[in-house]
Chains A and B, each alone.
Chain A
Amino acid sequence: MTGSRNFLSRLSLSLAPLLVALLIAILLLVATGAPPLDTFAKLFTGSFGTSSKQADTFVVWVSLAIVSAGLLITFTAGQWNIGVEGQIMVGSIFATWAARGMWEQSGIVGIPVIILWAMVGGALWALLVAVLKIYGKVNEIFGGLGFNFIATAFNIYLIFGPWKQKTGGTLSGTEIFPEALWMPTLPELRVSPIAIIIALFVLVVIYLSLRGTLWGLQLKAIGKNIRAAFVLGVPTNPLMLSAYAVCGACAGLVGAFLVIIVHHRLIPSISSGYGFLGILIVLLSSFNALWLAPLALFFAAVSIGSTALQLELNIDSSLGGVLQGVLVLVVLLMQGIKEKVISK
């Protein structure tokens, strides 16, 4: 019984921030003159109301689930991999690079190569941050931010330079890929069942490897206290590198999906802020892999549903982003409070 009471109190501690966030969101909505109930309803119907909306929501979910699973690894190792946004972008760049080399290729050959190459790209880009951190003593947050800027600039350069369309460089992106290299989707819908399966697979693998492997255990040790772990014989540097490589590969996978499922070309803001959303998701999950899938679904729903706010209620759809931000802030704040309470 004590176990379940303990669980109840933990659950209420997890739910309290959600309720506070909800309350603040309602106050915000009232303040901006939006009907709160209607707003939430429209967010919901806008993301789950029709089969095509559900499909679009799951398209976003795939990206958020995979990237947050990858980030869970770096967070477990105590690393703030802010560079994840650039790692997604480099994944998309590598995917496009591969696609350009296989323009005439069939999908069965082309798509796996594109995906793998994108994962290699994302991993390499992440390793740059790790190497700078380990051997150059550059804080990963600064390194990551720097590499994000470089990835964006390089992407723009490619789109307006070597990879521009025949008719000239445009912000709408590179030439559209031949349809053979598009990831197959359900008829009339934009969602790819294969991608959903891959995302679930990634979630399970990450969950299991954190729970049941030596690697996962050692990552946790690094995350708790890297010096102590080192002294106790944990090979910290190789582990750190592997954590970044895994996260980067996940980001690269997302980058590939964004190119071959969503846009069918490389576009300037291809990473779509999903890396940063992924960070928020992991923070909200209290580093628990089980929470990643539902939280990713929530964030995906808000992203897709918020266009409905404008269409249906004439509310600026950036409100969706504000709600997400409020939620994360409140939850982090509550976690801080919780820790203070516990430490007393």
Chain B
Amino acid sequence: MKTNKLWWLLSVMIPLTLIISACATPTTEAPKKFVFGLIMVGPKEDHGWNEAHWVAAQDVLKNVPNTDLVWIDKVNPADRPGVTIEQVSDDLVAKGAKVIFTNSAEFKDGTNNAAKKHTAVTFIHISGDAVLDKSAPANVGNFMGRMEYGKMIAGCAAALTTQTGSIAYLGPLIDAETRRLTNSVYLGAKYCWENARGKKDTPLKFEVTWIGFWFNIPGVTLDPTQVVNGFFDKGADVVLSGIDTTEALVVAGQRAKAGKKVWAIPYDYIGGCKEAEAVCLGVPYFNWTPAYQKTITEVQAGKWKQSWDWNGPDWKNINDPKTSHVGWVDGKALSADGKKSLDAFIADLGSGKINLFAGPLKYQDGKEFVKAGATADDKTVWYTEQLLEGVTGKSK
């Protein structure tokens, strides 16, 4: 009886398998186009970090002839349990990808491992530093935008607007990148609070709460909506988002509709203000297109070389889509006076008249970050160890 049963099982499974595999004859079309891949940590239409990358990939398709894109989004432990960067890279390489962009700091080890396996493919790990710390295989490059400037501008806009003198920052997870961005917001805010607003005597309140990841994962991270509500309840009236999704703006919009005077500043994506224009002071955004395009054309021409690029704004016009890697668009909620002061601040940042990473600057525990009379070099800023003195919140 038992063997009978097994035989039956096999006789059902095998023809079924054959039928399915017959239907699955792979179509063999020679991919003449230059294929590049994009692996995103979150959903491609998040109005944030991932959408900024998605838009850049679409631009490449438009601007560089004969290119094709293969992509996968939501590669994170909550959305795709058990799926690794190595697996996904195999898939994209199998689809003909010659260049693969991976867009989360969390993907460092996975990208390096995939690159070791697929040595003929160029991998770009974004916001990575494997090239800097020399752990990267030869076919891995890193680039990142100098969002520090965008965050300084955002901080300034917040300080120019706040009426309670209390600003809050919705932080993702704690690492060197998020620390330096938080510090940049604080430095920009402090500068404009003391200079443009002339409030040297009343210290600006600046608090950060880390939710634990770049976006909400129920049960794993703090709920950003609750965190933002908490900020407003405690008296902050401007919340800046450090996470990849738009909760800060959405909550501010709800509160404003209920008659509260509050504002928010989203992050990452040029269209980030969309969800609540009326409370949006503006958005610092990444323009990945120039860097993506450069990589693709260099690989096509066989001229790509490993590098770690920290690409800044084009100070002639920080919103030039062809040349500026980081930009800022004013929001509808920014006042006319605020706009004037902010433009002056941006001009001074660009001319070098203001360098906010000039000493003396101290970390939270009093340790020196930048000496008096000195300015921080790239490596010091990149590997920021703590939040700055004056910021409330955890450094580690």
Contacts and interface: CB of A to CB of B under 8 A. Distances in A.
Contact of B106 (A149, A156, A171, A294): A171
A40 B23 contact: yes
Contact of A4 (B4, B12, B107): B4
A170 B175 contact: yes
B77 A269 contact: yes
Nearest to A8: B8
B240 to A, nearest CB: 21
A45 interface: yes
A269 B12 contact: no
A167 B175 contact: yes
A48 B21 CA distance: 9
B13 interface: yes
A307 B176 contact: no
B30 interface: no
Interface residues of B, number: 49
A308 B175 CA distance: 33
Interface string A34-51: 000100111011001110
A52 B90 contact: yes
A303 B83 CA distance: 9
Interface in B67-100: 70-73, 76-84, 86-88, 90-92, 94-95
A189 B40 CA distance: 24
Contacts of A267: 77
Nearest to A164: B396
B173 A169 contact: yes
B117 A188 contact: yes
A81 interface: no
Contact of B13 (A160, A263, A294, A310): A294
A44 B23 CA distance: 10
Nearest to A262: B82
Interface string A168-179: 111110001000
B106 A60 contact: no
Contacts of A50: 94
A152 interface: yes
B212 A41 contact: no
Contacts of B108: 172
Nearest to A38: B23
Interface string A1-20: 00110010001000100000
Contacts of A313: none
B174 interface: yes
B90 A49 contact: no
Contacts, number: 105
Contact of B81 (A11, A167, A176, A269): A269
A307 B72 contact: yes
Nearest to B395: A168
Contacts of B90: 52
Given A190-B86, A311-B72, A317 B80 contact: yes
Interface string A58-99: 001000000000000000000000000000000000000000
Nearest to A306: B80
A146 interface: no
Nearest to B220: A268
B301 interface: no
Nearest to A152: B219
B94 A156 contact: no
A112 interface: no
Contact of A273 (B5, B81, B105): B81
B24 interface: yes
A125 to B, nearest CB: 18
A56 interface: yes
B6 interface: yes
A166 to B, nearest CB: 11
B23 A41 contact: yes
Nearest to A3: B1
Contacts of A170: 105-106, 173, 175
A290 interface: yes
B258 interface: no
A168 B174 contact: yes
Given A170-B106, A171-B106, A42 B176 contact: no
Contacts of A272: 77, 81-82
B24 A49 contact: yes
A290 B13 CA distance: 14
Contacts of B24: 41-42, 44-45, 49
Interface string A135-165: 0000000000000010010001000100000
Contacts of B73: 310
B198 interface: no
A307 B13 contact: no
Contacts of A169: 173-174, 396
A3 B24 CA distance: 37
Given A152-B220, A160-B212, A168-B174, A44 B21 contact: yes
Nearest to B213: A171
B49 to A, nearest CB: 15
A290 B94 contact: no
A14 B197 CA distance: 75
A338 B9 CA distance: 20
A44 B77 contact: no
Interface of A: 3-4, 7, 11, 15, 37, 40-42, 44-45, 48-50, 52, 56, 60, 149, 152, 156, 160, 167-172, 176, 188, 190, 258, 262-263, 267-269, 271-274, 290, 294, 303, 307-308, 310-311, 317-318
Interface of B: 1, 4-6, 8-9, 12-13, 20-21, 23-24, 26, 70-73, 76-84, 86-88, 90-92, 94-95, 105-109, 117, 173-176, 212-213, 219-220, 396
Given A7-B8, A168-B175, 20 more contacts: A37-B23, A42-B24, A44-B20, A45-B26, A50-B94, A167-B176, A168-B173, A168-B176, A171-B213, A172-B106, A172-B107, A172-B108, A263-B84, A274-B81, A290-B5, A290-B9, A307-B88, A311-B95, A317-B80, A318-B79
The 3 closest A-B pairs by CB, nearest first: A272-B81, A41-B24, A172-B106
13 contacts: A41-B23, A45-B26, A167-B175, A168-B396, A169-B396, A171-B76, A190-B86, A190-B87, A271-B81, A272-B77, A290-B9, A303-B82, A310-B72
